[in-house]
A and B are shown apart, each in its own frame.
Chain A
């Protein structure tokens, strides 16, 4: 039975209130105003349960993992490996052997570039990127290509900001070793059709590395369904602590790869002149890992599951639609990226107001947005502006906050054209 729209609104408003209560930072006032946090693509806020998980580890069972034969070490190992299982479940990885904890998505991609790229990309080979890549999924491949004598190709976008899939198909050649592509653009909000692209790439014998930094926090991601060879994402953009990210890799590919870092934890045995590598995933986790952060990230994943993807996605879809509609009412506002079927990073410019000036103005109103090139300089070059303003949303944002943003932009227009 369908409920009346008004009752849906009422119940979701009630839920949102309780959700926002889980984020103590909403009590913070910025420049005397209530915080309106619209910089979620840079980093998300942290619910109390994540901080609680960190606190418990540090105060109740602090010990190293996989080595001590004592109670606390066993407990720490149990929680750390439990976190790996939680993350595997989150993205539907076949096993914990596919889940490597890194410092962030950037380090995960660098791991692939070194441990896979240095051995598989050779002189004359090609690496395919898209023009909408974040620097984290661009610079590692650019430098690898330079070192290995390979060529980079960038797939362009159409005027709405969607990827030119035909062009991608044409650029695939027998030399293409890797397609590195973002799942969701951190500037345009474009969501790329990964499943279709992995099918094209694999038919060509090309591996696919997906930057999931903006997708995993916002919608359910199934790596087996997408069939990507690698996926990288960061914990801090999905309610988790800083200092932890995840590299997912297919077991067949990870098995063939050399380690990235050498040292303790990643070995089975060490002789004077050679060593035997540990099994997956430990082969790629040298030294004491980010124990607390991984445990905190699992608490974040649990929190997201608790909210539920259905609720989270419908809340975000409503906010995205509302934000784009309200921003569209502002004279001189240029919006970048698709209008529909898109993610929650919403980028724009207002007349001749520089995004930095706009950001400083909005900051005085308690509103946090991002201004600059958002680590996507080639994309800005492609589109024209040196810098843009970005409001990026998460499920805990509200329509009322968007109203304050729009009002703030209107005030800024009046102020800077006075």
Chain B
């Protein structure tokens, strides 16, 4: 396993030129997640209507892996239904555990994160935005129940 498998060109591209970076005004849900060991932080904003993620943005800072992962994730999640987002989340986690054959059609650029599973200490970096997504979906369903 070489470093170019971990830091692929597409990962460095998302790190340098992040998609959907910034705050989202009027977001229905926002969640903060951080990795206390390294100080990586992410705030994820979701605007959800009729069970569909209409807009998604993130802010924060961290390593190339966590930031590229956030950028790639938001790109795939925008416009997806909650059910599809959950399916993608489960598939991504399967890839991180080395359990599932990654499906490029589903993952998009995020398939480039496959190499991270060969660097166990860095898996939590790639997982950070996805953990935040799970939280955001949960928060959204609680909001829906209480309203």
Contact = CB atoms under 8 A, between A and B. Distances in A.
Contacts of A377: 39
Interface string A382-418: 0000110000000000000000000000000001101
A415 B7 contact: yes
B61 A386 contact: yes
A415 B38 CA distance: 22
Nearest to B3: A364
B65 A386 contact: no
A380 B41 CA distance: 14
Contact of A357 (B2, B65, B121): B65
A373 B63 contact: no
A153 interface: no
B38 A387 contact: yes
B63 A354 contact: yes
A225 B65 CA distance: 49
Contacts of A373: 38-39
B64 A357 contact: yes
Given A372-B39, A386-B41, A416-B7, A356 B12 contact: no
Contacts of B121: 360
Contacts of A303: none
Nearest to A372: B38
Contacts of A354: 62-64, 67
A283 to B, nearest CB: 36
B3 A361 contact: yes
Contacts of A386: 39-41, 61-62
Given A354-B63, A415-B7, A418-B12, A360 B122 contact: yes
B39 A416 contact: no
Interface footprint category on B: 20 to 34
Contacts of A364: 2-3
Contacts of A299: none
Contacts of A418: 9, 12
A48 B61 CA distance: 42
A360 B40 CA distance: 15
A16 to B, nearest CB: 31
A387 B39 contact: yes
B41 to A, nearest CB: 7
A128 B36 CA distance: 26
A368 interface: no
Nearest to B41: A386
Interface in B88-107: none
Interface string B31-66: 000000111110000000000000000000111110
Contacts of B41: 386
A371 interface: yes
A356 B38 contact: yes
A91 to B, nearest CB: 32
A285 B98 CA distance: 48
B70 interface: no
Nearest to B60: A386
A232 to B, nearest CB: 23
Interface in A217-270: none
B6 interface: yes
Contacts of B39: 372-373, 377, 380, 386-387
A377 B119 CA distance: 26
Contacts of B3: 360-361, 364, 415
Contacts of B73: none
Nearest to B4: A415
Interface of A: 354-357, 360-361, 364, 371-373, 377, 380, 386-387, 415-416, 418
Nearest 10 CB-CB pairings of A with B: A356-B63, A354-B63, A386-B39, A387-B39, A372-B38, A373-B39, A357-B64, A357-B63, A356-B38, A386-B61
Given A357-B65, A364-B2, A380-B39, 14 more contacts: A354-B63, A355-B63, A356-B40, A356-B65, A357-B64, A360-B6, A364-B3, A373-B38, A377-B39, A386-B61, A387-B38, A415-B3, A415-B7, A418-B12
28 contacts: A354-B63, A354-B64, A354-B67, A355-B63, A356-B40, A356-B62, A356-B122, A356-B125, A357-B63, A357-B64, A360-B3, A360-B6, A360-B119, A360-B121, A360-B122, A361-B3, A364-B2, A372-B37, A372-B39, A373-B39, A377-B39, A386-B39, A387-B38, A415-B3, A415-B7, A416-B7, A418-B9, A418-B12
